[in-house]
Amino acid sequence: MPRAVIVGSGREIPPNCVTNAMMARLMDTSHEWIVERTGIETRYFVDEGVATSDLGAAASRKALEAAGVSKDEVDLVIFATMTPDHYFPGCGGLLQAKLDMRNTPCFDIRQQCVGFVYGMQLADAQIRAGFAKTVLLVGAEVHAGFMPYTKGEWDYLYGKTDVALSKELFDKNTRFRDRIVLFGDGGGAVVLKAAEDDTSGVIESILRTDGREWDKLHVPGVGFKHRPYVSHEQLDRWDQLPIVEGRAVFKLATTLMAEVTHEILRRNQLLIEDLDMVLMHQANLRINTYVQKMLGLPDEKVYNNIQRYGNTTAATLPLCWDECVREGRIKKGDLVLMVAIGGGLHWGATLLRA
């Protein structure tokens, strides 16, 4: 039975680097406050008008080039995001059109931070089933859209104007600072091909969901639970911003990511020592450091880039993968684990050999 093997990857980072000191223009915070709680030092935002599908398309072009695969060879597109260009349609078809793929089927999946792991399992399953031989898997996000800022307020963030925020907006940003400082924009993509070689490719994925914990990570507004699904009252309350129950998420993330790691290794008769690289979702450096200690992993077997990019949700894992491959930290034959947790509550792990 064929396995899905990653044969190429690519990433796209927007041009606007935002430091913690720049964030402090918008709210009562500091570089030290943000780093202590999250590990984040910078994040990147798109220019106005640049959409999630644009980042996904740019990353996809680089992944296809790295793989030596033409767009016409792609049998299936899987796009993971929680920040689609439109409420509907999803980003898959938009990306397909931007890459000029003709009638290639597309899946849009919504597992937030663990979307890329779910996408890996879906791509592998479709390849094993014979539905596709070449799959383009994309994770991309534009979180800048969460921020209800005017052009003048964005200009003040970037230092293009000296006109400061009103005290009302500054104070409101401060109330939401625990979330506003977390997110960045970015896109990553991988190309997976069917291979009969049983020494490489996806070995197994484990996926889990517990809907009882949905309220720990969610967006309270702009949904069809409401009538209408979006209103001025919701926007005035900033209900379009995510709710993140930090202490609960920390406990769930550290416990469940460690548990699923042990489970997937046990099922494949492997030990922690057998892993060459572990890529964790980049939500909070404190979470990843804690999990690393729980698993007994040395620094050289764990890769983090949240310090530079912030939380890019579905894009974090393909960004990590692409950087590790291009820097030589993941080499042919290496045993790699991807593990993540996200809103839903969803979590999971993918074990593969590069």
Buried b / exposed e over 210-230, threshold 16 CB at 10 Å, is eeebeebbbebbbeeeeeeee
Backbone angles phi, psi at 286, to 5 degrees: -65, -40
Q: Which of 91, 106, 281, 288 is catalytic?
A: 281
Q: Which of 113, 284, 288, 346 is catalytic?
A: 113
Active site residue 113: yes
Token representation of residue 333: 């034959």
Does 288 qualify as catalytic in the annotation? no
* Cα–Cα distance for residue pair 140/116, rounded to 1 Å: 9
Is residue 281 among the annotated active site residues? yes
Are 127 and 4 in contact by the 8 Å Cβ rule? The answer is: yes
Query: Which one of the listed residues 16, 284, 288, 311 is annotated catalytic?
Result: 311
Q: Provide the annotated active-site residues.
A: 113, 281, 311
